[in-house]
Chain A
Amino acid sequence: MSGVRFPVSLSALNRKLLRDLLAMKSQALAIAMVVAAGIAMFVMYLSNFESLRATQRAYYERQRFADVFASLKRAPLRVAGDIAALPGVSVIETRVVANVTLDLDQIEEPASGRLVSIPASRRPRLNDLFLRRGRWIEPGRPDEVLASEGFVVAHGLNPGDRIPAVINGRLRRLTIVGVALSPEYIYSIRPGELVPDNKRFGIFWMDQQALAAAFDMEGGFNDVVLGLSPGAQTADVIARLDRILEPYGGLGAIPRALQLSHWTVENELAQLQSFGFLLPLIFLLIAAFILNVALTRALALQRPQIAALKALGYGNRAIGWHYLKWALIIGLLGVVLGIGFGAWLGTMVIALYNDFFRFPVLIFSVPLRVVVGATTLTMVAAGAGAFGAVRRAVRVPPAEAMRPETPARYRRTVLETPFVARHLGTTGRMVLRNVMRHPVRAAASVFGIAFAVAILMTGLVFSDAIDRLILTQFWEAERQDVTVTFVEPRGDAARYALAELPGVIAVEPQRTVAARLRSDYRERYLAVSGVPPSPRFKRIVDRNGHPVRLPPSGVVLSTILARALGVVQGDTITLDVLEGHRPVKRVEVTGLVDDILGLSAYMDLEALHQLMREGSVATGALLLVDSAQEARLSAELKATPIVAGTGFKRAVLKSFREVMAANMSLSIFINLVFASIIAFGVVYNSARVSLSERSRELASLRVLGFTRGEISLILMGELALLTLAALPVGAVFGYSLAAAIVSSIDSEVYRFPLYVSRSAVAWAWLGIIGAAVVSGLIVRRRLDRLDLVAVLKIRE
């Protein structure tokens, strides 16, 4: 052996340590890579968690993010005094909020804008804005607005630009004087959509007087936010607030926890945390297993040296510590690689976050805590993996250690039934018996490879799930081309007017009412939809795309809504309608649907009309459109006063796919890399250890006249057996893992369909077989270079 000379004054034992490690560097590297993969995930997820969490906290505090949010129809300003007087309320801000259509030249379809009022002469007391560019609005200039940064960036706008907005039927040109961000809209999404679309949705802050004037709210407000004093009872405040606002068309107050933007960020944080612990743990477990196997073999080869060290007077503790350091150094290498890799991945993920979440500043950093945590976890895992093996090797009494190892015990395996034995051949028998010699080790290798299959599969399953989701949502559930919402409920005339527009082939009216659903325990605010007996366009569909028929009476709820309310099919709930004459009715839950998006409640359209004591009224319409005429229709719709918002399916789908594509490719790439690292790590190490254990007998076979190809078959046969056994196990793991992740993602905002296609399984298998073949080929090169003379000369 030619070795490294050390200029530093290292002890002889430590020099041995480093040189021995260098001698097994490829195995050590493979193990370190598995550790690195796990630590990379740990660092990536938890660093992002810390960055996001810290930024969120600072942002909320500096901008005075509100604690309670409520919308209503209209209340006079003096009511604010009553609200301010509630116990627990320390700050109150009344606002006017409205949704408008934007008529932009850059895009065909109409975009939506949310106008939110701000005082002209001071900063808002709550939900203050962060001004990125430009200036605040001036009092007395009603057309000045601050625009949300996402919208401005998506359209390449600058302060000074003007955008046309249809406000109350009239086209007004609003001047953007500043670009702003708000803690209320870190995540901004059009209701009913799956992903944020900055091109088609923007938030604009306008002078309160001007906004009130435009929407007939002078002297009044339709939106209020509260800041609570420490120790205030949120639920109590909300209950009292609802009572005050009820006569003014209050739509139900929500605490910060349910505010959409905040909720989304919190959800993301929770996911980062759970992924950041669970997945790395599994990687480290696998690394510990591989380490154990590799180290056990290395220690077996070190027997004579252990004997020599003992003879020289080194005690068990010193020798054990020496070998434990092997494991710790490999672990440390993995930690260093992992932190680097994880930091790199983390910056990429943060870049994605910066698209979705609008913060004044979101920077990525790896906190010391994460580094320390990563190192400690790894040291523990490495130590655990090594401990048993080292203890066993060191404990051997020196006299015994100097004697050769007893020859390995083989026996006929249980699998060798006469039928199998006849067809197996000598080679096959050798392969089988060697695998079965260490059944626990074989099983653990199979599990390791199976886990790699599972990881790869999960990535592919999610990509499939997205496709499935699109199919279900956009082709099964909503079959219209255009969705139109009206400024307020309209009669049949609106429907006929729409039918006259260019390109419109068919119109299906929509009726939704804002309502509060109450069970004995809980309540939820949502829109109840009236559904005709045979809906043509918008159908009730579960997450796997199967349509659900509406029973003749009662309501059908989203399964997750029922769970949130604590009710099951057959129970009765109270329907508190918040519009019109505000009827209250007890209804039976006659059906549940495990759907994809949001919280939904459906009832028969006629029954709804009767409840609201109205004729055929619609709050919107679904259109089937001739695609050649879409541009003309779009222009017409922008100019139609009764239309509050429009959604063109083609555009929505396109933006959804773009967003998902970016997300998914990164995700699949990461999955592929990590799965390969595990598969490679397990197979390569298994092969190296096997080669080491069997080199003498394989060399003997060569001397007897076996070709290189024939003996490599023996070695590779073992790997092939383990890999093939792992494939079906991996498919099962993959299914369970995907199911677990899907159910952990399930929330009130969206659910994923679980659809494991055959192609996902097949590609995962192919990927892992590929990794196994590559590591097999690398080991085969070693096998080919086996120095027969040297191997046979080594005394056992």
Chain B
Amino acid sequence: METSSSEARGLVVDPTMPVPLFEIRELAKVYGMGDVAVHALRDVSLALDERQFVVLLGPSGSGKSTLLNIIGGLDVPTSGQVLYRDVDLTRADEATLTAYRRRHVGFVFQFYNLIPSLTAEENVALVTEISEQPMLPEEALQMVKLDARREHFPAQLSGGEQQRVAIARAIAKRPSVLLCDEPTGALDISTGIVVLEALQRVNTELGTTTVVITHNAAIASMADRVIRLADGRVVSVEDRTDKLSPSQLSW
């Protein structure tokens, strides 16, 4: 799963052409929360390319989180297909999905989900200890500019710092894709910008495909591709060429 099939066939690859990382076809997800069935996704089809910074935009209940979870192998769809570099995730078993998450996916959640009983560095170490060619925990923390706080516990860090530790944790394994569910949702504007800067740095320096979910339209301005979701369906897909840097954003 490490090299794309086209490279394996020895074909010459044009570096300027976008290489598809994910192909999503007719994805649908129905789940029951309690006794009420919810159609979270209806017939979603789209593609995500390597090195892309993608923003999934939509109001709450539009199915963004569900889509992200399925892409990240945390959930399985009711019907449809998700291809990661020619591998069909929807047909994979639990062990395969775990391996997929382990090696290829980095997650960042709205409420950080750090382990409260571990320091910042130890939280990152959680990931580096099970990865094959990870960065050192200090390197990952340096990338998000939190090297100085690595001995601190989450309770001793502010919201923004916790979120950046979460990002460091997510990228320490050098994943192919970074999935962020409302990363700035719990933060104020200035802290949020710091976090988005970290994400952009990761996207640029490591070349990681980054997918950010948000309901905040202003953030879409820093994306390469903006996908709008409503009511479980894709409403529009927009490729941008004039993306802003995070410091230029305001909401």
Contacts and interface: CB of A to CB of B under 8 A. Distances in A.
B69 A399 contact: yes
A566 interface: no
A19 B117 contact: yes
Residue in B107, B154, B169 whose Cβ sees the most chain A Cβ within 10 Å: B107
A406 B33 contact: yes
B112 to A, nearest CB: 9
Contacts of A312: 101-102, 107, 126-127, 130, 169
B129 interface: yes
B160 to A, nearest CB: 17
A311 B74 contact: yes
B113 interface: yes
Interface string B25-42: 000000001100000000
Interface string B64-78: 001001001011000
B198 interface: no
B95 interface: yes
B107 A314 contact: no
Contacts of A11: 125, 129
Given A310-B101, A316-B94, A305 B34 contact: no
Contacts of A315: 94-95, 98
A307 interface: yes
A12 B122 contact: yes
Contacts of B154: 1
Residue in B34, B118, B127, B155 whose Cβ sees the most chain A Cβ within 10 Å: B118
Interface in A1-40: 1-3, 5, 11-13, 15-16, 19-20, 23
Nearest to B130: A313
Contacts of B94: 315-316
Interface residues of A, number: 31
A402 interface: yes
Nearest to A307: B113
B127 A313 contact: yes
A715 B245 CA distance: 54
B37 to A, nearest CB: 15
B155 A795 contact: no
B223 interface: no
Contacts of A16: 115, 117-118, 122, 126
Interface string B103-129: 101010101011111110011011101
A134 interface: no
A3 B75 contact: no
A398 interface: yes
Interface in A329-361: none
A308 interface: yes
B122 to A, nearest CB: 5
A311 B101 contact: yes
B72 A311 contact: yes
Contacts of B123: 12
Interface in A392-450: 397-399, 402-403, 406
Contacts of A2: 153, 155
B113 A311 contact: yes
B118 A19 contact: yes
A313 B101 contact: yes
A1 B127 contact: no
A310 B99 CA distance: 10
B75 A398 contact: yes
A13 B122 CA distance: 9
B73 to A, nearest CB: 9
A397 B95 CA distance: 13
A532 interface: no
A33 B218 CA distance: 58
A406 B34 contact: yes
B167 to A, nearest CB: 13
Contacts of A311: 72, 74, 101, 105, 107, 109, 113
A3 B118 CA distance: 8
A15 B74 contact: no
A20 B118 CA distance: 10
B117 A402 contact: no
Given A311-B113, A313-B102, A795-B111, A397 B118 contact: no
Nearest to A308: B113
Contacts of A641: none
A15 B122 CA distance: 8
Contacts of B114: 308
Contacts of B116: 1, 305
12 contacts: A1-B117, A12-B125, A304-B113, A309-B115, A310-B74, A311-B72, A312-B126, A313-B130, A313-B173, A314-B130, A398-B74, A399-B69
Given A1-B116, A19-B118, A402-B74, 20 more contacts: A1-B117, A11-B125, A12-B126, A12-B129, A13-B126, A15-B117, A16-B115, A20-B117, A311-B113, A312-B126, A312-B127, A313-B102, A313-B130, A313-B173, A314-B102, A315-B94, A397-B74, A397-B75, A398-B69, A406-B34
Interface of A: 1-3, 5, 11-13, 15-16, 19-20, 23, 304-305, 307-316, 397-399, 402-403, 406, 795
